Structures are given as C-alpha cells and as structure tokens.
Amino acid sequence: MEERPSLLSAPPARYPDLLKQARIQGRVLLRAIVDTTGRVEPGSVVIATSPNPGFDLAAREWILKALFRPARMHGKAVRVHITQPLDYSVSLWKVGSFFFIPLLFLALKIALVVGVVLFAVWLFKRNDRRGRRAPKPAPRSRQAPPGRRSNSHTNAARPIATIACRTPCWPTRCARREPA
C-alpha cells in the first residue's frame, strides 16, 4: 500500500446526554472498511473497545458520516480495513458545560459579599473618624489671637478675652469673656 487512508472530514461526534451528565468519558476504537470512494461500508463497522455501551450507537453514526481519503496502491484507490479512535471527553471549564454556570454564579456571589464587606468596613471607619474629630475651629479671620485686640472691639481699655469663642468677642456682649 502506497498511501494509507486518512480522515478528511467528519461531523462533531454526538455525546450521549446521560453519559455527559454523569461525566463518563473515554476512547472508542472502531474497525471498519473504507471503500474506494472514501466512505465506510455500513455492514463492516465493528466496535473494538468502548468504555461504555452508551457510546456505541453515537460512534457508529459518526464513522458512517465521516469521509476518508481512500488508500492507494499503484495509484489506484483500494478498499482497506482501518482502526479509527474516537475520544469522548467532558470539559468542566467550557462556557456551555453544566459545571461552568454554577461556578460562575459562585464567583459572582463571592465578589458581591467581598464588596459589601469592604463597603461596610469603609463606612465604619469613616463614621469612627468623624466621632473622634475635634470641633472645627472658627476661621482665622474672625478670631483674634489671645492677648490682642480685634477690630470688632471698641473698648481699647480692656484686653480681649483669653478664652476662645466661636464668634467675635464683644466686650459688652460676650458672656464667656473673663475681665482682665
């Protein structure tokens, strides 16, 4: 034989639903005869090995739809026996797999919980800082330094009060002012 047969095209193999849900996987070995046109002869298909009998029908359908380049001997196409493997495997991380969707929701739940906890910690720290803060002093332009007179005082004979007030200190009106 000058040229061995090779697989040219085949549809995607159908994965039986129950076997896919049970995550049963494995390799099916098929033996068949490829004719001179590159098609498998229907009566020649034999399942050599199979991890589960549920794969047999799907594997048989797959090989009958496959197209091979026929074997050649002295330049002519000839019939030949082949052994063709067919692998069935379940990918847990495919977007369409049954395992991926709950995993995605679990990741989203974790992200949401972490976000809520971080927000609560930030809010607690923010409120805690506000509770410890000293009262905000009055702006400098409205409060005179201790021992000096402010422009608002009209009585030059009396010194300005040394107790800090939030309002300008008027000698006649300020109840907190201590006389000198």
Residue 71: helix, strand or coil by DSSP?
strand
What is the C-alpha separation between 118 and 47, in angstroms, rounded? 59
The torsion defined by the Cα of 68, 74, 78 and 83, in degrees rounded to 10, comes to -60
Question: Tens place of pLDDT for every residue, the chain, 180 residues?
Answer: 789 999 999 999 999 999 988 889 999 999 999 999 999 999 999 999 999 999 999 999 999 999 999 999 999 999 999 999 999 988 755 555 555 667 777 888 899 999 999 998 888 887 766 655 555 665 655 555 566 555 554 444 455 544 555 555 555 555 555 554
Using DSSP, state whether 154 is helix, strand or coil: coil
**How far is Cα 16 from Cα 18, in angstroms, rounded to an integer?**
6
* Separation of alpha carbons 14 and 61, rounded Å: 9
For the chain, the structural domain boundaries read: 6-88, 92-132, 140-171
Helical (H) or strand (E) element with 82: strand 80-88
- Phi and psi at 104, nearest 5°, equal -65, -45
- Taking the mean position of all CA atoms in its chain, how far away is CA 13? 29
Return the CATH number of 6-88, one of 3.40.50.970, 3.30.70.580, 3.40.50.720, 3.30.2420.10: 3.30.2420.10
pTM, 2 dp? 0.52
pLDDT digits (tens, 9 = 90+) for 105-128: 788 889 999 999 999 888 888 776
% of the chain residues with pLDDT over 70:
65
